[in-house]
Amino acid sequence: MGRAKKLDRERIFGEKPCKHLWCLHCERAYKWGQFREIDGLQYCPYDGCDGDTVMDGWRWEEIVEANPDYPDVPVLGKVYELNRGSKSLTPEFRRFQKVSSAVGGLMFPAQAAEVLEISRQRLSDLLKEGRLRQHNFFGRDYIASDEVLRFQGVARTAGRPKKKDKK
């Protein structure tokens, strides 16, 4: 599993550490401070997961609050589904507000495509390539406004990238 270090979420949200975080993408818990670093971003420590520790890591106690049958100490590597309901909406909404404030707002992918003046298919390609990332709240995907603005500032040529010759 990933290394232990201060998480970016401490700096961004001013959040105090807890014992475990839960990843919205792979639905597994991990210890606070563990992550994989990719291109300067802190991702969930589980290989193959594209959830990040800032946007997609939820405090384990919030997961237990919404799912009282889950243990106080999670089994690492075990999948714990988020059963969305009235108990999970309050912590999810608090998280949505924090994240939205930290990233200049959240927008739906269709809105991001319109802002970037690209097709939804091109946006989908950018998401698959990892050049933009989606974050899920309330069962819907969002893209950080700051990320859209950063991408908008990147000089790009018109059309699709040319394929490299295989020699």
From CA 70, how far away is CA 85, in angstroms rounded?
15
pLDDT score, position 53: 92
pLDDT band at 155 (very low <50, low <70, confident <90, very high): low
Query: What does DSSP say about strands 34-38 and 3-4: parallel, antiparallel, or unpaired?
Result: antiparallel
pLDDT value at position 156? 62
Residue 138's pLDDT is 80
pLDDT at 44: 95
User: What pLDDT is recorded for position 152?
Assistant: 83
Q: β-strands 41-43, 20-23: how paired?
A: unpaired
Mean confidence (pLDDT) of the chain: 85
Global pTM reads: 0.62
Phi and psi torsions of 90, nearest 5° = -65, -50
Over residues 39-54, the mean pLDDT reads 91
Helices then strands, each counted (H, E), the chain: 6, 9
Cα dihedral 60, 64, 67, 73 sign:
positive
Average pLDDT over residues 42-62: 91
Length of the chain as a residue count: 167
- 3-class SS at 152? helix
Task: Check: CB of residue 152 under 8 Å from CB of residue 123.
Answer: no
Fold of 103-157: Multidrug-efflux Transporter Regulator; Chain: A; Domain 2 (1.10.1660)
Domain parsing of the chain, residue ranges: 1-83, 103-157
pLDDT in the model for residue 88: 63
Q: Which position has the higher pLDDT, 119 or 90?
A: 119
For residue 161, the model assigns a pLDDT of: 61
Q: What is the pLDDT of residue 1?
A: 57
